[in-house]
Amino acid sequence: MSYLRNSRWTALGVLSTAGLMTILDGSIVTVAMPAIQQDLGFSPAELSWIVNAYLVAFGGLLLLAGRLGDLIGRRKMFLAGNVIFTAASLLAGAATGPAMLITARFLQGVGSALASAVILGILVTLFTEPRERGKAIAIFSFTGAAGASIGQVLGGLLTDALSWPWIFLVNVPIGVATVALALVALPADRGSGLSAGADVIGAVLVTAGLMLGIYTVVKVEEYGWLGAHTLGLGAVSLALLAGFVVRQATARTPLMPLRILRSRNVVGANLAQMLSLSGMFSFQVLVALYMQRVLGYGALDTGLAMLPAAVGIGTISLFVSARLAARFGPRTVLLAGLVLLVAAMGLLTQIPVQADYVTHLLPVMVLISGGGLVLPALATLGMSGAKESDAGLASGLFNTTQQVGMAIGVAVLSTMAASRTGLLLAAGESQAGALTGGYRLAFTISAGLLAAAFVVGLVVLRQSAPADREAAELETTPAS
């Protein structure tokens, strides 16, 4: 029994390391983009695809990967994803031109999707006792909560001390070690077999719809919300996703059985997460832009300035959130964390043109630590209504709404900030003043999104995470 217990915690370490690599890879590249552009000859339009290629593949494949994990085995899916991600990282580090790097980034996104989609599904089947599960989810959530800030610091250090290829090559030894340890630590699972639910039509519809939708969102800043490009592709994306829903209601073996959406906690947690991540991720991006474009910080200085938020989020998610959730329930913890995040955004709506870090930004970094309460609580609630056989699907769905929320948040808030900045410049405002005014508007919208997440948590979610009870209810409900 002691060996099994230790093995489970070793498995958690493997899963958390893989999750951290995924999150790091989304942010580590941002500080190295100027160096990459100079070395490989990226045009300004091509440069954004260093990020977008990863995001489109990652967000578009999560739901499909989660369901495939249920069918062929989550361990196999996790291993395949890490092998692809590691090989793609090696390819990215060796890139000699834009096409090669963009291809490698897309493949990194594919690998990340395959591995990430099943992590929570593996985790909740390994840890069945509520208190231990809460602790395990809190530890895993640290990777998502603090990973982006760590990525910015690490990206600056590697780029300055070595060169930009090392932001990708650093993944190779970690990926190899992760695969080796996963072969030993993760329990084998057979899955229910492809014959139990290989809905090819549904897979094509949802993957194409999500990829096209995320592509449309990330191109909004270039084409505008009301441009023909955005409206046309957005309509096609919605039509594909609507077709997917119809398919799931009528297919004999649906990719995403609609019964999973009958759980209040699954629906509420995913909706709250989309709203929360839309607001939270904008903090990561827009505060960094404010520091660099208005305050004149360098890339490494920006990463270090954001570090208190990462430390606070990590400390709370690792050492505080599970204890609070066990005592008060994850719903209460979620609501408390959202209050702190709304307060942080409230302070940012008043940020001056020339802010003092200690006076104006450090209090925000402290309050943003509320993310260490929000993310573990959302993960617990998002998995609480799923049966064990649907754990991979629930995990994939949860990760999908996470990525969609971040993509929409950045697109909407960046566009609104840029529009406001343009109006202020036209009115004669200084460059720094106009940029600050745009960011203030974006932070106001972020506060509204987080407040909306609070309302969802208050109205839709249940007080506790009754995994066994909700799963039993779903068992007795006829499958769609």
* pLDDT average, residue stretch 377-391: 72
Is 2's pLDDT higher than 50? no
Is 392's pLDDT higher than 70? no
Q: Under a CB-based contact definition with an 8 Å cutoff, are residues 105 and 227 in contact?
A: no
Is 127's pLDDT higher than 90? no
How much is the pLDDT for 194?
A: 60
- The fold of the 2-187+255-476 domain, in CATH, is Growth Hormone; Chain: A; (1.20.1250)
How much is the pLDDT for 336?
A: 94
Q: Which two tokens stand for residue 419?
A: 């529009």
Distance CA 386, CA 475 (A): 10
Q: Which two tokens stand for residue 366?
A: 């402290």
Identity of residue 67:
R
Please list, in sequence order, all residues whose beta carbon lies within 8 angstroms of the beta carbon of residue 319, skipping any fewer than 6 positions away: none
Distance CA 97, CA 261 (A): 44
pLDDT band at 144 (very low <50, low <70, confident <90, very high): low
Q: Which two tokens stand for residue 60?
A: 């578009």
Vertex 400: Cα angle to 77 and 376 (nearest 5): 90
How much is the pLDDT for 444?
A: 94
How much is the pLDDT for 261?
A: 75
How much is the pLDDT for 305?
A: 85
Distance CA 362, CA 292 (A): 16
Residue whose tokens read 């094509």: 204
What are the pLDDT digits (tens) for 412-430?
A: 787 788 788 888 988 888 8
Distance CA 379, CA 321 (A): 12
Please list, in sequence order, all residues whose beta carbon lies within 8 angstroms of the beta carbon of residue 126, skipping any fewer than 6 positions away: 8, 11, 12, 136, 187
Distance CA 18, CA 395 (A): 15
* pLDDT average, residue stretch 30-55: 74
Query: Exposed, middle or buried, 160 (CB in 10 Å: 0-12/13-18/19+)?
Result: middle
Residue whose tokens read 């593949």: 57
Distance CA 286, CA 296 (A): 14
DSSP assignment letter at 253? S
DSSP, residue by residue, 308-344: HHHHHHHHHHHHTHHHHHHHH-HHHHHHHHHHHHHHH
Q: Which two tokens stand for residue 82?
A: 């890490």
pTM of the model: 0.73
At residue 254, φ and ψ (nearest 5 deg) are -65, 150
Q: Taking the CA atoms of 100, 155, 24 and 26 in sequence, report the sign of the dihedral they define.
A: negative
What is the torsion angle, in degrees rounded to the nearest 10, for the CA atoms of residue 205, residue 209, residue 212 and residue 215? -140
What are the pLDDT digits (tens) for 130-141?
A: 777 777 777 777
How much is the pLDDT for 363?
A: 93
Distance CA 371, CA 316 (A): 8
Neighbours of 83 (CB within 10 A): 17
How much is the pLDDT for 387?
A: 67
Please list, in sequence order, all residues whose beta carbon lies within 8 angstroms of the beta carbon of residue 305, skipping any fewer than 6 positions away: 291, 297, 357, 361
Q: Taking the CA atoms of 183, 185, 188 and 191 in sequence, report the sign of the dihedral they define.
A: negative
Is 465's pLDDT higher than 50? no
Distance CA 480, CA 250 (A): 8
Nearest to 117 by CA among 276, 281, 256, 313: 256
Distance CA 73, CA 353 (A): 53
Identity of residue 134:
G
| Maximum pairwise Cα distance, the chain | 71
Is 104's pLDDT higher than 50? yes
